[in-house]
Amino acid sequence: MYNKSMTKLPAREQAPEVRRHNFAEVSQGYDEAMAREEATRCIGCKNAPCMTGCPVGVHIPEFIAHVKEGEFEKAYETIRLTNSLPAICGRVCPQETQCESKCVRGVKGDPVGIGRLERFCADYAMQKGQPAPEKHAPNGHRVAVVGSGPSGLTCAGDLAKLGYDVTIFEALHTPGGVLVYGIPEFRLPKHLVREEIATVEALGVKIETNAVVGRSVSLDELFDEGYDAVFIGSGAGLPRFQGIPGENLNGVYSANEFLTRINLMKAYAFPETDTPVRVGKRVAVVGGGNVAMDAARSALRLGAEEVSIIYRRSEKEMPARLEEVHHAKEEGVNFRMLTNPTAIHGDEAGNVQSMTCVEMELGEPDASGRRRPVVKQGSEFDIAVDTVVIAIGNSPNPLIRNTTPGLETQKWGGIIADENGLTSRENVYAGGDAVTGAATVILAMGAGKTAAKAIHEKLSR
């Protein structure tokens, strides 16, 4: 028999009034008893629709069955068969649109807390200390991976398991991509990212930091250095701006800059650390995705008195994870929906003072299927702000496409790759946000996995 409870067991959490002043992780996850209890809600469907919602095909009913029996190590091993970064996915995947959206238990009541269970297993294994993985007999081939974000790490890990000699080239000084510079500590602790990356390195993957492909070394030179194939997982890290007057005033940040200063450079600890960040009393964050939520909640934690999310559509269209929107509201972030900025104004020294916005209403659906926001005539109004964070999305960085002859890209900059990740260049594969534009961690991992398989098929032929 299974547990008939209609509701998902809540995870332990820091209280909102406490956590809005610290960068410690908000969700404390399940303990052993809680994990076993939630696991009993899974009915172990034979056809496992949940698995079709997981981009890397984790054997969900199988691992949950192990959790139910208290066999946590076995559960972890089951997950790791297809997912190299479970401690991360369990925390940052939008499960409500993936595995959990397909869960039979979700038809009436809450779906099984698959994400929380995955996270529990990964955290359990990390605390226990994992045995060093078996080294695989080298097969004589070398593969270069560009970028150490989720797609690159997954591709590298899968190839290493097949005996490839893999080196990842990372432009920044710390590997992890968006996991280290983008997603904040209170959502994804950095020690955990380091440990997950260490499990990939333990497979024999080498990581060279401070290596900007396109500047320090070109893609073609990687082949000269003896690599047989290259996987490009360079992400979508080029920030978009609104293109409105006043965007270059002091106090206007791209979300990438704001979050990089805080997460990667630890500006929250300034002056113990050397990188400053400026957060005023009144902060406006423009956008409705996870990045906007992360920026808004970081600003609160850095002492802002009033933080507003400014979003041009309604709450229903916001692409952010439900849990993060909920957390942001609990912490006191204001939500100004159907609002769009049209100009930012500053003082004589060039510091932001206020922002002009217009009200929007929703018209006909656009190409994305979401109702298009239209400006309400005569609805202009000003709000007082001293910091503005622009979080309206990112595009792929042009550095690699501009320095790699023959690499075909979309008009908007995404690298063109087939369903196996193969690009227009022989033995050059790509995946993740570099191909799709900004998407999710788990989709990037799925793309890394697919490309690893394709590279193996090509090189072992």
Partner 1 sequence: MFQILEKRRLNETTTLMRVHAPRVAKKAGPGQFIILRIDENGERIPLTIAGYDRESGSVTIIFQKVGKTTIHLDELEAGDSLLDFVGPLGRVSEYGDVKGKRVAVIGGGLGIAIAYPQAVALTELGAEVDMIVGFRNIGLAILMDELQNASKNLIVMTDDGSNGKKGFVTDALREQLETGVKYEHVVAIGPMPMMRAVCEMTRPYGIHTVVSMNPIMIDGTGMCGGCRLTVGGETKFACVDGPEFDGHLVDFDEAMKRSRMYSAEEKLSKEKHICRMKEAAAHV
**Chain residues that interact with partner 1, rule: CB under 8 A:** 171-173, 209-212, 215-217, 237-239, 241, 247-248, 250-251, 253-254, 256-257, 260-261, 265-266, 269-276, 278, 349-350, 397-399
Q: Which is nearer to partner 1, 172 or 203 (CB)?
A: 172
Instruction: Name 20's Cβ contacts closer than 8 Å, sequence gap at least 6.
Output: 297, 300, 301, 331, 332
Helix (H) or strand (E) holding 151: helix 150-161
* Secondary structure tally for the chain: helices H, strands E: 17, 18
Residue 442 CB coordination number (10 Å) = 24
> For the purposes of burial, counting CB atoms within 10 Å of the CB of 108, is it exposed (0-12), middle (13-18) or buried (19 or more)?
exposed
Helix (H) or strand (E) holding 359: strand 352-365
Q: Which is nearer to partner 1, 106 or 346 (CB)?
A: 346
What is the C-alpha separation between 453 and 159, in angstroms, rounded? 8
Q: Which is nearer to partner 1, 397 or 450 (CB)?
A: 397
Q: Which is nearer to partner 1, 53 or 237 (CB)?
A: 237
Which letter, b or e, does each residue of 217-249 get, where b requires 16 or more Cβ atoms within 10 Å of its Cβ?
bebeebbeeebbbbbbbbbbbbbbebebebbeb
SS3 content of the chain, % helix, strand, coil (to 5): 35, 20, 45
- Give, as one character, the DSSP assignment of residue 262: I
To the nearest whole angstrom, how small is the minimum distance from the Cβ of residue 40 to partner 1? 45
Structure tokens at 297: 């909640």
To the nearest whole angstrom, how small is the minimum distance from the Cβ of residue 280 to partner 1? 12
What is the C-alpha separation between 347 and 41, in angstroms, rounded? 58
To the nearest whole angstrom, how small is the minimum distance from the Cβ of residue 253 to partner 1? 8
User: How long, in residues, is the chain?
Assistant: 461
To the nearest whole angstrom, how small is the minimum distance from the Cβ of residue 290 to partner 1? 17
To the nearest whole angstrom, how small is the minimum distance from the Cβ of residue 249 to partner 1? 8
Measured CA to CA in angstroms, residue 210 lies from 13, 157, 224, 231 at distances of 37, 20, 20, 18
What is the C-alpha separation between 442 and 154, in angstroms, rounded? 10
Q: Which is nearer to partner 1, 221 or 408 (CB)?
A: 221
To the nearest whole angstrom, how small is the minimum distance from the Cβ of residue 399 to partner 1? 6
Q: Which is nearer to partner 1, 277 or 455 (CB)?
A: 277
Q: Which is nearer to partner 1, 223 or 270 (CB)?
A: 270
Q: Which is nearer to partner 1, 117 or 388 (CB)?
A: 388
To the nearest whole angstrom, how small is the minimum distance from the Cβ of residue 11 to partner 1? 32
Q: Which is nearer to partner 1, 115 or 184 (CB)?
A: 184
To the nearest whole angstrom, how small is the minimum distance from the Cβ of residue 221 to partner 1? 9
Say if CB 333 and CB 300 are below 8 A apart.
yes
To the nearest whole angstrom, how small is the minimum distance from the Cβ of residue 173 to partner 1? 4
Pairing between β-strand 206-208 and β-strand 165-169 as defined by DSSP bridges = parallel
